[in-house]
Structure 1
């Protein structure tokens, strides 16, 4: 039987982390051949992941440009992806999550009447501006997808509530699969030389568009206050390369004791620092799934999360971006051992490390009924 081409589209580092194990699973599935297309919506951070997983894209749109707005990125991605899909022999397009790349990939596939598989389907806040623009991106993708790969039962039930009953598969989250490739017993990094192993390390990540400006300033002020008042903690903050974020990080956190600003970490370093941290402070989506798999509590710098399973399980706590609230919650988790224990020992609701194999098998069965 001739292999069926499946176009796997991604463009950002988080997408790459979650799609890389799926590419490997498709490669291992007789009858399927993954064709990888990256938009490079994030260039340098994307390339780090490709190198770790030894993935060489078949197509690279290289769309990243300084100061590019959403409309410009969307138009360029749609045009480039449309040309690739129209001229290729792919019989399915797989997209992930809620990025502009994923939305445009699904839309281009729809325009060419090629079936769409949506990995990490069914996440919702039902607030079109939280997160922005991701909430509407994933809702739009859900309307055109032919296969919905829901990471949890909750996500599947949300799809059912939207009358999407057919071809919904509960698979677990592929990010759990990726940890098998990245977590190391022996791990070395230059930043380790700056950190005191006797202190509690807090990993901070913050980049979401809706948190730019005043919300980010408030969080940074709270972090600076904790670092100033306590000598038992150290913050690790890989700063997103967006100039607006870099400027605020330098203004509020630069040059302070016990706060380590660094360039974005590659996926291996990010996962291993997370595994060695005391807890995580983040507005990221994927980290809300990764950290619980490593038994790390997560304070989510958002008012709402599309990952309610983690909140219900007790691994996540949404604390928003109010300066006083952020400060209070950080200190509480540092000082209250009972709360810390409940969060760190809560069961992980996001999967068992075999999501990619389940997705590959469902794709095969859909294309070869």
Structure 2
């Protein structure tokens, strides 16, 4: 019996670890998972865990209003260490590149517990973009025993850093596992969401996310100005922006975009709603890493408001396009998409999902099999 200590703190971590947790729970003869929530993004995290019917065994409740990265890092390191000493797990499982990932990996290293890194090997080569995520995932890589790379490109990045081949395996990305599970449920629940978001039933829906720290300030302002210009140019299109609760995002967004008839500033959508909105969208404008992986599966035109991406596979395949926060580039790119032949947002053709460069929906099974192979 293997006892993995699975640590998560944000909504993206919960989405990508939920399929693995559920699979471990189903294999009760092989696994006894311990789910630890740091509560880095408390409200949104609880929504996802509830949707996937997962109850944390350990809830550290670390989030505090106005907390700095240094304060979060220090409190997370100590709290996870205390939990590991008490639980005595066989391994620690982390996902991605958050502060929770970095601190949990270091805490595990200090306790000499092997680390399993889900979605390992993503790199931009620039410590400042995305910040602090590029730093976090590089730190995690130093102490990781099993690097679960989502793509061959990510595996090659690890090889270039000198990681031993025996510690690397291309498993695909668990985000596709989660998406396959959720899309079917929410298409069947479409009547509920169409009543809540009637404007999402338009032919031209542009779904927007924007919350990364490196875009705070002028970058976010320029992005909002581009959206405002697009809404004037394309009055038939409906622009839906679930606005992050961080005041560095919410303040500028409402200041620049509130009051436009076809721009809908809505509260942060929980995972199931967001999956449905992506499924309805023709265009997605995003700075989110996870959305770059999910949205191409649903036939959306994806424009990434970042200068660099650690997910080049979608760009290389022509499924996503880097536009940064340059106002004119955003306006020109999204306008061309809206003026072209209709895209396939909302299609029920699941061949797009199966052909996704980030995986085929079996990543959780592959990761669990590898853990059983190594730690049993």
Length-normalised TM-score, structure 1: 0.95
Q: Equivalents in 2 of 1:82, 1:246: separation in Å?
A: 34
Is 2:356 the partner of 1:348? yes
Per the TM alignment, residue 189 of structure 1 is displaced from its structure 2 partner at its CA by: 2.4
Is 2:286 the partner of 1:288? no
Aligned length: 363
Is 2:158 the partner of 1:159? yes
Does the CA-based 8 Å contact 1:207-1:283 persist in structure 2?
yes
**Superposed CA offset, 1:34-68 (max 9, x none):** 10000010010000001101111010111111111
Length-normalised TM-score, structure 2: 0.93
Q: 1:348 to 1:107 in 2, by over 3 A?
A: same
Question: What's the secondary structure of 2:288's corresponding residue?
Answer: coil
Question: What's the secondary structure of 2:187's corresponding residue?
Answer: coil
Q: Equivalents in 1 of 2:323, 2:48: separation in Å?
A: 30
**Deviating more after overlay: 23-32 vs 317-326:** 23-32
- Structure 1, gaps ≥5 residues long: none
Question: What's the secondary structure of 2:67's corresponding residue?
Answer: coil
Q: Equivalents in 2 of 1:60, 1:244: separation in Å?
A: 27
Does the CA-based 8 Å contact 1:313-1:348 persist in structure 2?
no
Structure 2 residue aligned with 1:12: 10
- Runs of 4+ aligned residues of structure 1 deviating over 2 Å after TM superposition are 189-194, 196-199, 344-347
Q: Equivalents in 1 of 2:201, 2:156: separation in Å?
A: 43
Q: CA RMSD in A?
A: 1.6
Per the TM alignment, residue 336 of structure 1 is displaced from its structure 2 partner at its CA by: 2.9
Structure 2 residue aligned with 1:56: 55
Q: Equivalents in 2 of 1:199, 1:296: separation in Å?
A: 12
Structure 2 residue aligned with 1:69: 68
Q: Equivalents in 1 of 2:314, 2:202: separation in Å?
A: 29
- Structure 2, gaps ≥5 residues long: none
Per the TM alignment, residue 335 of structure 1 is displaced from its structure 2 partner at its CA by: 1.4
Q: 1:222 to 1:37 in 2, by over 3 A?
A: same
Question: What's the secondary structure of 1:281's corresponding residue?
Answer: strand
Q: Equivalents in 1 of 2:258, 2:181: separation in Å?
A: 33
Structure 1 residue aligned with 2:94: 95
Per the TM alignment, residue 192 of structure 1 is displaced from its structure 2 partner at its CA by: 4.3
Structure 1 residue aligned with 2:258: 254
Q: Equivalents in 2 of 1:97, 1:163: separation in Å?
A: 20
Q: 1:128 to 1:88 in 2, by over 3 A?
A: same
Does the CA-based 8 Å contact 2:201-2:280 persist in structure 1?
no
**Superposed CA offset, 1:122-170 (max 9, x none):** 0000100000000010011001000000000110111111111222110
Question: What's the secondary structure of 1:189's corresponding residue?
Answer: helix
Per the TM alignment, residue 294 of structure 1 is displaced from its structure 2 partner at its CA by: 1.4
Structure 1 residue aligned with 2:34: 35
**Superposed CA offset, 1:271-294 (max 9, x none):** 111011102000000000011121
Q: Equivalents in 2 of 1:160, 1:355: separation in Å?
A: 20
Q: Equivalents in 2 of 1:191, 1:309: separation in Å?
A: 36
Is 2:370 the partner of 1:362? yes
Q: Equivalents in 2 of 1:280, 1:350: separation in Å?
A: 18
Is 2:203 the partner of 1:199? yes
Q: 1:76 to 1:113 in 2, by over 3 A?
A: same
Structure 1 residue aligned with 2:279: 275
Q: Equivalents in 2 of 1:318, 1:337: separation in Å?
A: 21
